[in-house]
């Protein structure tokens, strides 16, 4: 089998993705099939090896769209472990909850839906704190990469269909206060 050759500008990212895929494959082998039979209770992660979502930092995030203010209570994935876990194994997500992934410098974000049981809207937020792209109703359990396509400073994951239901659109202003600690 011939190795995949990536262009220099995405090579480090592609290698990280490949490493994450191998890591998750090893974790899934170690955890075994019992995860498929975990009881549902939301909105917490439902695997004993994962961090409880109530231990993630959290903050309030606001989106201003067409003169309306939409307020979300969000978990903030600040550590590599939190960012790798995201909303994996969550079986339900209230309409006013979400998870925010941030970067210290703008970069192209790529996300996937492995072990994610519910569709999500991925809202990519530019350095100007405006919505740069919305990937609506992403497919649960998909290994396809969902990309911001251009450098952004954050990605907000919401319940699938919530962005459309609230009328969120590219260009809407987004604000949040980083969590303490």
What is the average per-residue pLDDT within 81-92? 94
pLDDT band at 98, cuts 50/70/90? very high
User: Which of 4-18, 43-57, 76-90, 121-135 is predicted most confidently?
Assistant: 121-135
Residue 18 confidence (pLDDT): 56
pLDDT band at 37, cuts 50/70/90? very low
122-164 per-position pLDDT tens digit:
999 999 999 999 999 999 999 999 999 999 999 999 999 999 9
Helices (H), 42-156: 80-85
Is the pLDDT at 46 greater than 80? The verdict is no
Is the pLDDT at 25 greater than 60? The verdict is no
Q: Does the predicted TM-score (pTM) go above 0.85?
A: no
- Please tell me which residue, 121 or 37, carries the higher pLDDT value: 121
Residue 180 confidence (pLDDT): 75
Percent of the chain with pLDDT over 70: 73
Q: What domains lie within the chain, and their CATH numbers? A: 41-176 (2.60.120.1140)
- Please tell me which residue, 92 or 8, carries the higher pLDDT value: 92
Cβ atoms < 10 Å from Cβ of 86: 25
Residue 109, classed as helix, strand or coil, is coil
pLDDT band at 110, cuts 50/70/90? very high
**pLDDT averaged over every residue in the chain:** 83
As a whole number of angstroms, the distance between CA 99 and CA 158 comes to 7
What is the average per-residue pLDDT within 5-26? 54
As a whole number of angstroms, the distance between CA 59 and CA 2 comes to 46
From the centroid of its chain, how far is CA 75? 10
Residue 99, classed as helix, strand or coil, is strand
């Amino acid at each position: 089998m011939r190795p995949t050759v990536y262009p220099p500008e995405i090579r480090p990212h592609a290698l990280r993705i490949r490493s994450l895929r191998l890591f998750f494959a090893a974790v899934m082998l170690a955890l075994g099939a019992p995860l498929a039979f975990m009881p549902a209770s939301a909105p917490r992660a439902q695997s004993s090896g994962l961090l409880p979502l109530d231990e993630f930092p959290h903050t309030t995030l606001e989106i201003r769209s067409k003169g309306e203010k939409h307020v979300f209570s969000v978990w903030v994935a600040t550590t590599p472990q939190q960012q790798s876990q995201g909303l994996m194994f969550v079986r339900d997500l209230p309409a006013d909850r979400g998870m925010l992934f941030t970067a210290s410098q703008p970069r192209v974000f790529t996300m996937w839906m492995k072990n994610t049981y519910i569709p999500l809207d991925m809202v990519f937020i530019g350095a100007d704190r405006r919505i740069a792209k919305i990937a609506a109703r992403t497919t649960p359990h998909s290994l396809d990469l969902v990309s911001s396509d251009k450098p952004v400073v954050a990605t907000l994951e919401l319940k699938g269909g919530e962005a459309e239901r609230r009328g969120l659109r590219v260009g809407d202003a987004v604000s949040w206060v980083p969590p303490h600690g």
